[in-house]
């Protein structure tokens, strides 16, 4: 490539560590996406295509693909002029929202290296990495890693690492891949840059060009006080900022707290496999998002979008907050397979909640899954497949009434210490079942033998479930031991309430 990395490396090789820098020094990485407008519309650089934007002169070319450039189409050109050059040119209007979304994705990616990230629309991302050098094994290893990960994104982009944000963004925007760690080398590497790199106002730029200045080198040759007087203070300020002689504050964007992304499917489908494929992509981004924030999440909401029908919402929850995209996918698969879809799915929206930062004390829990993590994961899978309410732990409550002396509680909660009465059956019926017999049948005839009782339970006057019952333990002719009661309020009817199992 013509923009081969121009490594102006000047590391302090004499020192033991190789990256020993004063803590006050900065290292700014700039990533410039020259084809962002095209890529946001999924247009390859090898097509003959332009992205247009409205202007006073009508629609003009905002960005041209590489092939379009090769035939002479340039940004700023009128669309009709471009079409005159290449009749079959693909013309698309610009989508600033899509561009912003793409830039945000890079923001999340950069957040994995540093919290100090600044998006500089339209096409540049700046982040300060000096504090992270040790973590990523020094500046060269970091540069290589950034470059490698950028290659994997599939976007055309340029990366520059220098001590000042101004120099980094100018070099990246000019397509010069640079790694400079010493401020003294900045001027050397920037002198060939054209003056429009400085981002000056149109009028200043025009006057500079009229004076015969086209590169920064020529600008630096002019007397400094003359420069400010003739072309305004902006020129000197920007030059000084780029060389680090003047502070250059940048707006640091906080990484957004909520995660919400969507993805369109290539075709409408009801196939769980295709839906999961798209979801996998979003979950991977969610996982990156969590990594950037040193966070874990316990809930993911997925909306499956249909044509002309309200979206199907699926909530996936876990008991141990996590960030592993694979595990989220396993849970989501169970949910999607269980769900009847009302219509084909055309897109997926995914958002995450229940975010919390990792407690350093329990950090190893997430790195090396131990038995507790495995167990929680298994319960999540069971809940995802069987439904949340179908997984429970029996819990004892302090109440005399048998139906109220227990409850279902969600797994993994503390058990209160409650004393339990003797003579209770191991099996309880959902509802007491009425027996077709009379009192004297039970006590007198041979169909039942009372072996214990009666135990009178009369309670519940404080709510609507007041009752008065005599409970007996009986053995029936089959040899089963049963728990029956006589309802003293309802004409002394007999009910079966439990089995001793």
Partner 1 sequence: MKPDLRGLLSKHHLVWQGNTADGKGSGVSTGFAELDQALPTRGWPEAALTEIAVPYWGLGELRLLLPAMVHLNRQKRRIVWIAPPYLPYAPALARAGLDLQYVMVVDTQSGNVSWAMERLSSFRSCGMVLAWPMRLSEVEARRLQLAAETGGGIGIVLRAEDTRWRASSAALRLKIEPLDGEIAINILKARGGSHRPRVAVSL
* Contact residues for partner 1, defined by CB under 8 A: 371, 374-375, 378, 381-382, 385-386, 389-396, 402, 405-408, 411, 414-415, 418, 420-422, 424-430, 478-482, 498-501
CB 244 within 8 A of CB 183: yes
Cβ closer to partner 1: 247 or 422? 422
Instruction: Please give the structure tokens belonging to residue 122.
Output: 């339209």
Cβ closer to partner 1: 267 or 393? 393
CA-CA distances (angstroms) from residue 411 to 102, 296, 404? 41, 21, 19
> Interhelix angle for 233-242 vs 165-173, to 10°?
90
Cis upstream peptide for 122 (omega within 30°): yes
How far is the C-alpha of 94 from the C-alpha of 439, rounded, in Å?
86
Cβ closer to partner 1: 81 or 386? 386
Cβ closer to partner 1: 152 or 368? 368
Cβ closer to partner 1: 111 or 402? 402
Cis upstream peptide for 95 (omega within 30°): no
Cis upstream peptide for 37 (omega within 30°): no
Cβ closer to partner 1: 58 or 427? 427
Minimum distance from residue 444 beta carbon to partner 1 (Å): 21
DSSP β-bridge partners for residue 459: 467
DSSP β-bridge partners for residue 250: none
How far is the C-alpha of 121 from the C-alpha of 104, rounded, in Å?
10
Q: Position of tokens 């009028």?
A: 203
The CA dihedral of 244, 247, 248, 251, to the nearest 10 degrees, is 140
Cβ closer to partner 1: 211 or 426? 426
Cβ closer to partner 1: 224 or 338? 338
Minimum distance from residue 368 beta carbon to partner 1 (Å): 16
Instruction: Please give the structure tokens belonging to residue 21.
Output: 């820098």
Minimum distance from residue 455 beta carbon to partner 1 (Å): 13
Instruction: Please give the structure tokens belonging to residue 407.
Output: 């409850």
| Extended beta strands in 117-162, E state | 117-120, 124-128, 158-162
Under DSSP, is residue 11 helix (H, G, I), strand (E, B) or coil? coil
Under DSSP, is residue 259 helix (H, G, I), strand (E, B) or coil? strand
Cβ closer to partner 1: 25 or 392? 392
Minimum distance from residue 374 beta carbon to partner 1 (Å): 7
Instruction: Please give the structure tokens belonging to residue 231.
Output: 């072309």
How far is the C-alpha of 12 from the C-alpha of 206, rounded, in Å?
41
CB 418 within 8 A of CB 398: yes
Q: Position of tokens 């033991």?
A: 16
Cβ closer to partner 1: 419 or 440? 419
Minimum distance from residue 500 beta carbon to partner 1 (Å): 6
Minimum distance from residue 392 beta carbon to partner 1 (Å): 5
Report which secondary-structure segment, H or E, holds 406.
strand 406-409
Minimum distance from residue 456 beta carbon to partner 1 (Å): 17
Minimum distance from residue 400 beta carbon to partner 1 (Å): 10
344-350-351 Cα angle (round to 5):
150
Minimum distance from residue 497 beta carbon to partner 1 (Å): 10
State the pairing for strand pair 28-32/259-269: unpaired
Minimum distance from residue 498 beta carbon to partner 1 (Å): 6
């Amino acid at each position: 490539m013509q923009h081969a990395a121009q490594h102006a490396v000047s590391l302090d090789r004499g020192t033991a560590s190789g990256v020993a820098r004063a803590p006050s020094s900065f290292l700014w990485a700039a990533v410039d996406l020259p084809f962002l407008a095209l890529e946001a519309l999924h247009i390859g650089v090898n097509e003959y295509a332009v992205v247009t934007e409205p202007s006073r002169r009508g629609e003009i070319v905002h960005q041209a693909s590489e092939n379009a450039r090769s035939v002479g189409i340039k940004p700023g050109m009128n669309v009709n002029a471009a079409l005159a050059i290449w009749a079959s040119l693909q013309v698309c209007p610009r989508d600033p929202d899509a561009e912003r979304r793409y830039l945000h994705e890079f923001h999340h990616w950069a957040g994995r290296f540093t919290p100090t990230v600044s998006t500089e629309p339209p096409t540049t991302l700046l982040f300060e990495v000096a504090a992270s050098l040790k973590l990523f094994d020094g500046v060269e290893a970091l540069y290589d890693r950034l470059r490698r990960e950028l290659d994997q994104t599939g976007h055309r982009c340029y990366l520059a690492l220098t001590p000042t944000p101004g120099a980094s963004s100018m070099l990246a925007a000019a397509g010069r891949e640079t790694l400079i760690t010493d401020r003294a080398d900045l001027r050397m590497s920037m002198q060939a840059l054209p003056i429009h790199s400085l981002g000056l106002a149109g009028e200043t730029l025009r006057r500079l060009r009229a004076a015969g200045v086209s590169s920064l080198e020529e600008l630096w040759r002019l007397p400094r006080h003359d420069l400010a007087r003739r072309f305004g203070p902006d020129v000197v300020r920007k030059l000084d900022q780029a060389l680090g002689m003047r502070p250059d504050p940048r707006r640091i964007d906080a990484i957004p707290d909520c995660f919400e992304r969507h993805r369109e499917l290539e075709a409408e489908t009801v196939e769980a496999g295709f839906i999961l494929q798209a979801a996998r992509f979003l979950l991977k981004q969610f996982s990156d998002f969590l990594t950037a924030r040193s966070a874990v999440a316990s809930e993911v909401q997925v909306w499956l979008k249909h044509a002309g029908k309200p979206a199907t919402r699926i909530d996936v929850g876990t008991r141990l907050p996590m960030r592993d995209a694979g595990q989220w996918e396993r849970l989501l698969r169970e949910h999607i397979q269980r769900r009847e879809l009302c219509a084909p799915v055309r897109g997926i929206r995914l958002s995450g909640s229940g975010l919390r930062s990792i407690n350093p004390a329990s950090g190893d829990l997430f790195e090396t899954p131990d038995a507790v993590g495995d167990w929680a994961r298994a319960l999540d899978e069971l809940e995802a497949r069987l439904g949340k309410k179908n997984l429970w732990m029996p819990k004892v409550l302090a109440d005399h009434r048998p139906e109220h002396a227990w409850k279902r509680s969600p797994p993994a909660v503390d058990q209160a210490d409650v004393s339990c009465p003797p003579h209770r059956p191991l099996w309880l019926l959902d509802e007491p079942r009425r027996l077709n017999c009379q009192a004297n049948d039970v006590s007198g005839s041979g169909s039942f033998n009372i072996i214990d009782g009666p135990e009178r339970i009369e309670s519940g006057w404080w709510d609507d479930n007041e009752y008065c019952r005599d409970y007996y333990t009986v053995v029936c002719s089959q040899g089963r031991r049963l728990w029956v009661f006589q309802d003293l309020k309802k004409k002394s009817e007999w009910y079966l309430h439990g089995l001793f199992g």
